[in-house]
Amino acid sequence: MSPIQLIASYVGVFLGAVLLLATVYGYIKQNNFGLGGTVLSLLGLTLIGLSFWSSFEFSVDAKGKVAVSYTQSQSEASKAADLNGQLQKLKFQVDMLSQDISDLKRATPSAKIFDDAALKRAAKTQAFNQNSLYSILVFNKENQQNTASSLVNTLLAEGFKSAAASTDLKEAKKQFDPNHAWVIYSSRGKEKLSELKNMLRDKYPGITCHVEPKESELRNGDIQVLLY
C-alpha cells in the first residue's frame, strides 16, 4: 500500500470514529437517536469499513486460493492490527458510554454511579489503554484459522492491536507439529509475554505453547504468535 493510500485509510477511520462518537454524544444529551443519528452512524461505519478493507492486498493462485507468504503477510497483518486496534478502542469507548447511560437510567437524578462500579471501570479502562500500546500479530496455517480468529478477538477485547494472517509458515526459522504455537517477541513485547502465555494456557488448552527463550528483532509487531 502506498503512503497516500495508508494516509487515506487512517483519515477514513478517524472521520468515521468522529461521526460515531458524535452520534453517541447526541444520544446521551438528548436521549433520542432519530434519523440524524442513523445517518451519521451509517456514514461513520461506511468510512471505517472502506478504510479497513482498502488496506488489504491479496494474491490469488489459479485455483482461486489466497496465497500470502509469511514474509509478505507480516506487513499486511501489522497494518490490519493498527486498524483493528482503533476500531476496538472505539467500540470500547461506546460500550463505556452505553454503560454510563444504563447506570444513570437506573439511578435517581441526584445519585452518582456506585464507587465500586466506578473503580472497576477505571481499572478496566487503564488496562485496556495500556494494552493498546502493544501489537500482537498472529500467523496461522490454514488448519488453525478458527483458533487464530478467536485469539485475535480475545486480544482485541483486552485492548491489544492484533490481526491474523493465514500462511504456510514455510519461511519460519522453526517448524512444529500441528496444534503448537511458537511465540517470538521483541524487547518491548517481553513486557506482555506473561499475560499472553496465561491467555493461551487458559483459553486454548489444546495448543502447546513454545516461547522463544531470547528476544528477537521483529520487523512488525511486538509479539508474533505462529500457529501450526
The residue whose grid cell reads 513486557 is 191
Q: pLDDT tens string for the chain (228 positions)?
A: 445 555 666 666 677 677 667 776 666 666 665 666 666 666 666 665 555 544 444 444 455 544 445 555 676 677 777 777 777 776 777 676 666 666 655 655 554 555 667 778 788 888 998 999 999 999 999 999 999 999 999 999 899 999 998 888 988 889 999 999 999 999 999 999 999 999 999 999 999 999 999 999 998 899 999 999
Question: Which three cell numbers, joined as nine digits, stand for 93?
Answer: 469507548
Q: Taking the domains of the chain in order of start, what are their residue ranges?
A: 3-131, 135-227
Q: Using CB atoms within 10 A of its CB, is residue 151 exposed (0-12), middle (13-18) or buried (19+)?
A: buried
Collapsing DSSP to helix, strand or coil, 155 comes out as helix
Amino acid at position 204, single letter: Y
CATH code for residues 135-227: 3.30.70.2390
pTM of the model: 0.59
